Amino acid sequence: MKIIKGGVCAAKGFKATGVHCGIRNNKSKKDLSLIVSETLATACAVYTTNLVKGAPLIVTKNHIANGKAQAVICNSGNANTCNADGIEIAEKMSELCADALSVAPSDIVVASTGVIGQPLNIEPIANGIPELVKNLSANGSDAAAEGIMTTDTVKKDIAVEFTVGGKICKIGGIAKGSGMIHPNMATMLVFITTDAAISQEMLQKALSSDIKNTFNMVSVDGDTSTNDMVTVLANGMAGNKEITEDGEDFNEFMKALNTVTVSLCRMIAGDGEGATKLLECKVSGAKDILTAKTVAKSVICSSLLKAAMFGADANWGRVLCAIGYSGADVDVNKIDVSFKSNKGEICVCINGAGIEFSEDKAKEILLEKEIEILIDLKDGDACSTAWGCDLTYEYVKINGDYRT
């Protein structure tokens, strides 16, 4: 397996693009994206657990109930959520896109992201679709990634090449996610494409299994979004024998999918609103996987710990505090804690108690852009990783005037 270029266009038969159609006032910002497969693809998705769901999610769920889709259209700048005509607008987006591509509306995945509770005008979308379709390109992943961004500061894309049954396959993805990011699926938009041949049942199994250890382990601010989902389209154009059951081929597909999703998780967490640092909490020595996940999530979600990381303050007591209220059944008198970055590693707590350490060295380590929080529970062999970011003044500024 190797990392390659191309994002959602890396796999055979996929084209994409993004344009500014007028939803957003800033004409330099793309606000409408399209991803298209040459052929009808196997499709699956996972959705936010928020009871308030954007109209596009409801429409998409109905469209891919048969396990098939051929295109994804997504706008930014308006979430099309909590609108009386939301379903109607989402369906109209699908119809307009389908007409322009000469495919069925039911084969369109539709998504929206942006401000909640403001009506979405279909006119700029209708006007922008002809240009969108005209600009479709095998090199269009970057443009598509830009078109789904809201408060994101960088585009997020990744692709890998792997082998299944002697055939070279590719899988790639783009994502948006900066704020309103919290575990329990999915709190971001992620679009993944692959030319591997895989049944809908196994594709859904792969995605549903993967998100438990990837997207559900990301938190920026503790808010679970209303609109977000992860979708995968697999068009089978790599020519491998269709994956229809567990085995070596399925395992290889899972490894490739996980490489893509973990990379996107790190990008999303590192680009949290106002963030200056990517935080990666690694828990080892847990008695079971649930305990490991619970501890990792609790620590990465701690506002006090996130603030300490912003200030490069090795306040390890906040790590233990977050573990203590996590609800996990752990022996707090066994816990070891260390901080690690490119500048080295420093142990700050052994068996639940503080030890002497160099504050200067700790600060040097915590001033780096990527910080690892290492926790050893010393109670078993299970482990888990969660991703987040620091909490900064800029986060409050961004969300204080997000709508206006």
133-171: buried (b, 16+ CB within 10 Å) or exposed (e) per residue? beebeeebbbbbbbbbbbbbeebbbbbbbbebbeeebbb
pLDDT per position as a tens digit, 80-109: 999 999 999 999 999 999 999 999 999 999
Q: What is the mean pLDDT of residues 3-29?
A: 96
Instruction: Identify which of 250, 251, 257 has the alpha carbon closest to the alpha carbon of residue 171.
Output: 257
Domain boundaries, the chain: 2-270, 278-400
First-last CA distance in the chain? 45
Question: Do the Cβ atoms of 9 and 141 come closer than 8 Å?
Answer: yes
Q: What is the mean pLDDT of residues 351-366?
A: 97
Three-state secondary-structure class, residue 59: helix
Q: Give residue 252's pLDDT.
A: 98
Question: Which H or E element spans position 36?
Answer: strand 32-47
Quick one: tokens of 201?
């049942």
Most confident of 40-44, 210-214, 301-305: 40-44
| Residue for token pair 């889709």 | 69
Dist. CA 196–CA 167, nearest whole Å = 9
Q: Give residue 404's pLDDT.
A: 63
Which stretches within 271-390 are classed as H helix? 289-301, 303-310, 317-324, 359-366
pLDDT per position as a tens digit, 159-191: 999 999 999 999 999 999 765 545 554 347 999
Work out the pLDDT band at 224, boundaries 50, 70, 90: low
What value does the mean pLDDT of the chain take? 93
Question: Do the Cβ atoms of 234 and 197 come closer than 8 Å?
Answer: yes
Question: Which H or E element spans position 176?
Answer: strand 167-176
Dist. CA 270–CA 230, nearest whole Å = 19
Choose the weakest-confidence range: 46-50, 253-257, 270-274, 297-301.
270-274
Q: Catalytic pick from 187, 193, 194, 259? A: 187
**Residue ranges with strand state E in 202-277:** 229-234
CATH architecture entry for 2-270: 4-Layer Sandwich (3.60)
Dist. CA 161–CA 386, nearest whole Å = 25
Is 276 a residue of the active site?
Answer: no
DSSP 215: G
Q: Which CATH superfamily is domain 278-400 in?
A: ArgJ beta chain, C-terminal domain (3.10.20.340)
Question: Do the Cβ atoms of 26 and 146 come closer than 8 Å?
Answer: no
- State yes or no: pLDDT of 22 exceeds 90: yes
Instruction: Identify which of 37, 12, 33 has the alpha carbon closest to the alpha carbon of residue 23.
Output: 33
Q: Give residue 221's pLDDT.
A: 58
Q: Answer yes or no: same fold for 2-270 and 278-400.
A: no
Dist. CA 143–CA 35, nearest whole Å = 10
List C-alpha distances in Å: 146 to 75, 155, 301, 392.
11, 6, 28, 24
Q: Give residue 185's pLDDT.
A: 42
Q: What is the mean pLDDT of residues 259-275?
A: 87
Q: Give residue 302's pLDDT.
A: 94
Q: Give residue 6's pLDDT.
A: 97
Q: What is the mean pLDDT of residues 46-52?
A: 81
Instruction: Give the list of residues 6+ apart from residue 123 with CB closer than 8 angstroms, or none.
Output: none
- State yes or no: pLDDT of 274 exceeds 60: yes
In this structure, how many other beta carbons lie within 10 angstroms of the beta carbon of residue 303? 12
Instruction: Give the list of residues 6+ apart from residue 87 with CB closer than 8 angstroms, or none.
Output: 55, 58, 59
Q: Give residue 272's pLDDT.
A: 73
**Going by DSSP bridges, is the β-strand pair 189-194/229-234 parallel, antiparallel, or unpaired?**
parallel
Of 69 and 225, the one with more pLDDT = 69
Quick one: tokens of 232?
């995968």
- pTM of the full structure: 0.88
Work out the pLDDT band at 402, boundaries 50, 70, 90: low
Which stretches within 275-358 are classed as H helix? 289-301, 303-310, 317-324
pLDDT per position as a tens digit, 122-147: 999 999 999 999 999 999 999 999 99
pLDDT per position as a tens digit, 239-253: 999 999 999 999 999
